[in-house]
């Protein structure tokens, strides 16, 4: 098992070095991760605190020396909110991606390997997941269960695995026909062993690719849900900031310094996921490279 | 029996099964609502007479399993209960806003697919040139920017700053269209439609564009296209007459799926432009705990998605002679 992991890390490393897009994506992630860790040191103010200068509330300030990106209509420092906003974004992205990779890979592996009834049942389940409208589902669930960041993650994880499952399944269908799997079967290896030791390592890169895409979708969705007003009221996320700006008439006032930066951050982090994804695509569909 | 008919029947069965499972899940989700079991259909503000009618219609005094069958029967007849907020049957409330959602969606979808297909052909043609890189990066931008944020930017610039387009709704304050037809023939409606449609177009554009591009690249590799090239047929002719024709089909298939997902995805866009459509209705229903309305809107969106997935599969498997109907032994 340790060998498998080592192999995956080695392959990922090699792959990053060979692909500029994927490398750029990885660098963006690293950048955001560092900011998330160092947030208290980078953010000049408490993002929740209404700022005062000499007893005066600093509301709707334009960007300046003291407030890098100005302040909100409640006098909160926008730059500090932006910095702290990295944390929920990464948290939502990583946890959602984790569940998507686990559930999607398992469903795909089992359906593809066993075929027959198991396959039918799991694939109908996937059809159901595909039939459920994504954002409406998250809204309904969060609206009823309560606006909590874990409810949002759970609602997303319940649906987002669907693409991964389908893709992994069809990949497993080809892998299981290969001779080393046949050989393992003949030598009497258990199903469990064949699935997890022989087949799984071959489809893991694909799982990770879908994980990186899911990360992007999850962050986008959290932002959308927060924007619609169903976000966690105790967490300052980029979606929350945009919702705050929208309902506080920042658009009418042309307060671009308020609502442009969070959008750019969301875009960057989502794009990073796609970059990693697109990079892998070239490895996965080498036909493209012949051009 | 013909293999294609067999597939059609099997796929129809799958669609019905999916629809049934989702309806069932929804039934239980809305029964688990906090409060007494009546809360999913009856609001204390309803008159006693209304309450009685609903009790009768949904069998709310009967055991749960009977309620379930009554629910399915009502669903098939399109009876979705009474909206708490509008004090009207859910079906009526939905019927009023559905056209707006369809206008917004179809306009954007057609624009996105026309631009996307042409753009995809263009990028495939320019393979390896600098302009291709710009094109791809731009497409990635459109895929990763949150749609509501793009909408906010467009609103701030074109509506509030430059004052070219109205900021929301389907008509200016105080104006009510006499009929759907009158709406469709008024310039004002299109002025209101422009920004939301543009936002949705930008969002939907990426898929057809990337898909068309990669299909083109695949097709261009095939023998008959290579052959045409070697015969010295000019490049534009090769692109459109030989390659694009065959790269087209999967993109059209994706469009059917796109319709379904646009239905669910434009929730955010409808909200930001105060577009009175199905998505905005759903948001309103959930935030005011209008359970029957939320359930009705959700079921309708799900039904459209499932149906469109079905159409896409049929299209892909039956119309394309190159695809062998997948029926693993």
Label each residue of chain B as H, E or C: CCHHHHHHHHHHHHHHHHHHHHHHHHHHHHHCCCCCHHHHCCCCCCCHHHHHHHHHHHCCCCCHHHHHHHHHHHHHCCCCCECCCCCCEHHHHHHHHHHHHHHHHHHHHHHHHHHHHHHHHHHHHCCCCHHHHHHHHHHHHHHHCCHHHHHHHHHHHHHHHCCCCCCCCCCCCCCCCCCHHHHHCCHHHHHHHHHHHHHHHHHHHHHHHHHHHHHHHHHHCCHHHHHHHHCCCCHHHHHHHHHHHHHHHHHHHHHHHHHHHHHHHCHHHHHHCCCCCHHHHHHHHHHCCCHHHHHHHHHHHHHHHHHHHHHHHHHHHHHCCCCCCCCCC
Residue B329 pLDDT grade (very low, low, confident, very high; cuts 50, 70, 90):
very low
> Is A107's pLDDT higher than 70?
yes
Q: What is the pLDDT of residues A215-269, one digit of tens each?
A: 888 998 999 999 888 888 888 888 888 888 888 877 778 778 888 889 999 999 8
Between CA A193 and CA A184 the distance in angstroms is: 9
Q: Which position has the higher pLDDT, A187 or B44?
A: A187
pLDDT reported for residue B76: 86
- Rounded mean pLDDT, A160-173: 88
Averaged pLDDT of chain A: 81
Residue B38 pLDDT grade (very low, low, confident, very high; cuts 50, 70, 90):
low
Residue with tokens 């027959």: A116
Q: Which position has the higher pLDDT, B174 or A170?
A: A170
Q: Looking at CA atoms only, how far is residue A143 from chain B in angstroms?
A: 6
Q: Which of A132, A133, A141 should one mutate to test binding to chain B, selecting the residue with the greatest count of B CBs within 10 A?
A: A133
Q: Which residues of A touch B166 (CB under 8 A)?
A: none
Most confident of A15-19, A42-46, A93-97, A182-186: A93-97
Q: Looking at CA atoms only, how far is residue B61 from chain A in angstroms?
A: 24
pLDDT reported for residue B115: 92
- State whether A254 and B146 contact (CB < 8 Å): no
pLDDT reported for residue A95: 93
Tokens of A214: 């899911």
Q: Is residue B187 within 8 Å of B206, Cβ to Cβ?
A: no
- State whether A291 and B298 contact (CB < 8 Å): no
Residue of B nearest to A142 (CA): B286
pLDDT reported for residue B142: 84
Residue A278 pLDDT grade (very low, low, confident, very high; cuts 50, 70, 90):
low
> Is A197's pLDDT higher than 90?
no
Q: Which residues of B touch A275 (CB under 8 A)?
A: 140
pLDDT reported for residue A286: 39
Q: Looking at CA atoms only, how far is residue B182 from chain A in angstroms?
A: 31
Q: Looking at CA atoms only, how far is residue B213 from chain A in angstroms?
A: 11
Residue with tokens 């693409």: A163
- State whether A131 and B14 contact (CB < 8 Å): no
pLDDT reported for residue B328: 39
Residue with tokens 């049934």: B20
> Is B37's pLDDT higher than 70?
no
- Is beta strand A52-53 parallel, antiparallel or unpaired with respect to A56-57? antiparallel
Residue A99 pLDDT grade (very low, low, confident, very high; cuts 50, 70, 90):
very high
- Rounded mean pLDDT, B272-295: 86
- State whether B17 and A124 contact (CB < 8 Å): yes
pLDDT reported for residue A291: 30
ipTM of this model?
0.82
Q: Which residues of A touch B306 (CB under 8 A)?
A: 131
Q: Which residues of A touch B143 (CB under 8 A)?
A: 270-271, 274
Q: What is the pLDDT of residues B155-172, one digit of tens each?
A: 888 877 777 777 777 776
Instruction: Tell me, yes or no, if B218 comes closer than 8 A to chain A by beta carbon.
Output: yes
Q: Which residues of B touch A136 (CB under 8 A)?
A: 264, 267, 279, 282, 297-298, 301
Q: What is the pLDDT of residues B242-270, one digit of tens each?
A: 777 777 777 877 787 778 777 776 888 88
Residue B10 pLDDT grade (very low, low, confident, very high; cuts 50, 70, 90):
confident
- State whether B264 and A263 contact (CB < 8 Å): no
CB < 8 Å from A in window 133-172 of B: 140-141, 143-149, 152-153, 155-156, 160-161
- Rounded mean pLDDT, A127-144: 87
Between CA A199 and CA A177 the distance in angstroms is: 10
Share of chain B above pLDDT 90, in %: 3
pLDDT reported for residue A246: 87
Between CA A173 and CA A181 the distance in angstroms is: 11
Residue with tokens 């624009």: B111
Domain ranges for chain A: 18-34+78-290
- State whether B287 and A274 contact (CB < 8 Å): no
CA distances from residue B161 to A99, A252, B113, B154, B198 in whole angstroms, order as listed: 43, 8, 30, 10, 18
pLDDT reported for residue B253: 75
Q: Looking at CA atoms only, how far is residue A6 from chain B in angstroms?
A: 32
Q: How many CB pairs under 8 A join A and B?
A: 146
> Is A67's pLDDT higher than 70?
no
Instruction: Tell me, yes or no, if B323 comes closer than 8 A to chain A by beta carbon.
Output: no
Q: Looking at CA atoms only, how far is residue A222 from chain B in angstroms?
A: 10
CB < 8 Å from A in window 21-50 of B: 21-22, 25, 29, 33
Residue with tokens 């300046």: A64
A77 bridge partner residues: A71
- State whether B282 and A139 contact (CB < 8 Å): yes
> Is B321's pLDDT higher than 60?
no
Q: Looking at CA atoms only, how far is residue A271 from chain B in angstroms?
A: 6
Specify the range with the lowest mean pLDDT, choosing from A7-21, A98-112, B122-136, B208-222. Answer: A7-21
Tokens of A80: 């500090």
pLDDT reported for residue A31: 92
Q: Which of A125, A136, A265 should one mutate to test binding to chain B, selecting the residue with the greatest count of B CBs within 10 A?
A: A136
Q: Is residue B281 within 8 Å of B293, Cβ to Cβ?
A: yes
> Is A25's pLDDT higher than 80?
yes
Residue B320 pLDDT grade (very low, low, confident, very high; cuts 50, 70, 90):
low
pLDDT reported for residue B144: 83
Q: Which residues of A touch B282 (CB under 8 A)?
A: 136, 139-140
pLDDT reported for residue A34: 92
Residue of A nearest to B161 (CA): A254
Q: Looking at CA atoms only, how far is residue B284 from chain A in angstroms?
A: 10
> Is A106's pLDDT higher than 90?
yes
Q: Which of A29, A129, A132, A260 should one mutate to test binding to chain B, selecting the residue with the greatest count of B CBs within 10 A?
A: A132
- Rounded mean pLDDT, A22-41: 87
Q: Looking at CA atoms only, how far is residue A252 from chain B in angstroms?
A: 6
Question: Please, what is the Cα angle at B111 between B109 and B116, to 5 degrees?
Answer: 95
B218 bridge partner residues: none
Residue A38 pLDDT grade (very low, low, confident, very high; cuts 50, 70, 90):
confident
Q: Taking the mean position of all CA atoms in its chain, how far away is CA B328?
A: 31
pLDDT reported for residue B111: 92
Residue of B nearest to A242 (CA): B149
Fold of A18-34+78-290: MetI-like fold (1.10.3720)
Residue B114 pLDDT grade (very low, low, confident, very high; cuts 50, 70, 90):
very high
pLDDT reported for residue B40: 65
Specify the range with the lowest mean pLDDT, choosing from A85-99, A145-159, B130-144. Answer: B130-144
- State whether A133 and B160 contact (CB < 8 Å): no
Q: For residue B261, count CB atoms less than 10 angstroms from its CB and return exposed for 0-12, middle for 13-18, buried for 19 or more.
A: buried
- Rounded mean pLDDT, B195-218: 86
pLDDT reported for residue A105: 92
pLDDT reported for residue B258: 78
SS3 for A213-277 is HHHHHHHHHHHHHHHCCCCCCCCCCHHHHHHHHHHCCCCCCCCHHHHHHHHHHHHHHHHHHHHHH
> Is B223's pLDDT higher than 90?
no
Specify the range with the lowest mean pLDDT, choosing from A185-194, B122-131, B145-154, B315-324. Answer: B315-324
Q: Which residues of A touch B264 (CB under 8 A)?
A: 133-136
Tokens of B11: 């796929």
Which member of A131, A246, A274 has the closest CB to residue B144? A274
pLDDT reported for residue A16: 65
Which member of B29, B148, B302 has the closest CB to residue A224? B148
pLDDT reported for residue A288: 36
> Is A103's pLDDT higher than 90?
yes
């Amino acid at each position: 098992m340790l060998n498998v992991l080592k192999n995956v890390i080695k392959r990922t490393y090699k792959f990053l070095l060979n692909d500029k897009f994927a490398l750029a994506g990885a660098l963006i992630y690293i950048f955001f991760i560092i900011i998330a860790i160092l947030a208290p040191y980078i953010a000049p103010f408490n993002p929740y605190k209404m700022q005062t200068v000499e007893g005066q509330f600093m509301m709707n300030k334009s960007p300046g020396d003291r407030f890098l990106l100005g302040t909100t209509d409640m006098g909160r420092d926008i730059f500090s909110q932006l910095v702290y906003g990295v944390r929920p974004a990464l948290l939502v992205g990583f946890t959602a991606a984790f569940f998507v990779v686990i559930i999607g890979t398992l469903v795909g592996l089992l359906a593809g390997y066993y075929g027959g009834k198991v396959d039918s049942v799991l694939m109908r389940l996937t059809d159901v997941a595909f039939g459920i409208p994504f954002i409406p589902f998250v809204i309904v669930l969060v609206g009823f269960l309560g606006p909590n960041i874990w409810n949002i993650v759970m609602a997303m994880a319940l649906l987002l695995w669907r693409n991964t499952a389908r893709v992994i399944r069809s990949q497993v269908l080809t892998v299981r026909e290969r001779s080393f799997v046949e050989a393992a079967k003949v030598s009497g290896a258990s199903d469990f062993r064949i699935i997890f030791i022989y087949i799984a390592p071959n489809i893991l890169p694909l799982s990770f690719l879908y994980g990186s895409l899911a990360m992007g979708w999850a962050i986008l969705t959290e932002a959308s849900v927060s924007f619609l007003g169903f976000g966690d009221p105790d967490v300052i996320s980029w979606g929350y900031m945009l919702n705050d700006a929208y309902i506080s008439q920042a658009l009418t006032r042309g307060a671009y310094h308020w609502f442009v930066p969070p959008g750019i951050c969301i875009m960057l982090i989502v794009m990073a996921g796609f970059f990693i994804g697109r990079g892998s695509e070239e490895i996965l569909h080498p036909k493209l490279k012949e051009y | 029996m013909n293999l294609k008919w067999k597939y059609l029947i099997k796929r129809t069965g799958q669609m019905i099964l999916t629809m049934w499972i989702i309806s069932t899940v929804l039934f239980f989700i809305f029964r688990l609502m906090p409060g007494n079991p009546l809360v999913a259909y009856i609001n204390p503000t309803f008159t006693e007479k209304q309450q009685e009618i609903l009790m009768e219609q949904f069998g709310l005094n009967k055991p749960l399993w009977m309620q379930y069958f009554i629910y399915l029967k009502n669903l098939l007849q399109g009876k979705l209960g009474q909206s708490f907020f509008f004090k009207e049957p859910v079906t009526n409330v939905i019927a009023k806003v559905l056209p707006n959602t369809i206008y917004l969606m179809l306009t954007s979808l057609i624009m996105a697919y026309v631009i996307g297909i042409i753009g995809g052909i263009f990028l495939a043609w320019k393979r390896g040139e600098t302009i291709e890189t710009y094109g791809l990066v731009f497409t990635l931008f459109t895929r990763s920017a949150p749609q509501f944020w793009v909408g906010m930017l467009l609103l701030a610039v074109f509506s509030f700053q430059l004052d070219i387009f109205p900021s929301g709704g389907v008509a200016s304050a105080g104006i009510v269209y006499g009929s759907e037809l009158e709406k469709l023939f008024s310039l004002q409606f299109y002025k209101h439609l422009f920004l939301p449609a543009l936002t949705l177009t930008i969002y939907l554009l990426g898929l057809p564009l990337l898909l068309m591009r990669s299909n083109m690249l695949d097709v261009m590799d095939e023998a008959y296209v290579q052959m045409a090239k070697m015969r010295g047929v000019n490049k534009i002719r090769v692109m459109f007459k030989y390659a694009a024709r065959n790269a087209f089909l999967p993109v059209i298939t994706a469009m059917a799926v796109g319709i379904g997902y646009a239905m669910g995805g434009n929730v955010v866009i409808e909200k930001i432009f105060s577009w009175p459509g199905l998505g905005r209705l759903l948001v309103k229903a959930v935030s005011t705990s209008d359970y029957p309305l939320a359930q009705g809107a959700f079921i309708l969106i799900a039904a459209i998605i499932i149906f469109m997935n079905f159409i896409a599969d049929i299209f892909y498997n039956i119309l394309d002679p190159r695809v062998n109907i997948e029926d693993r032994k």
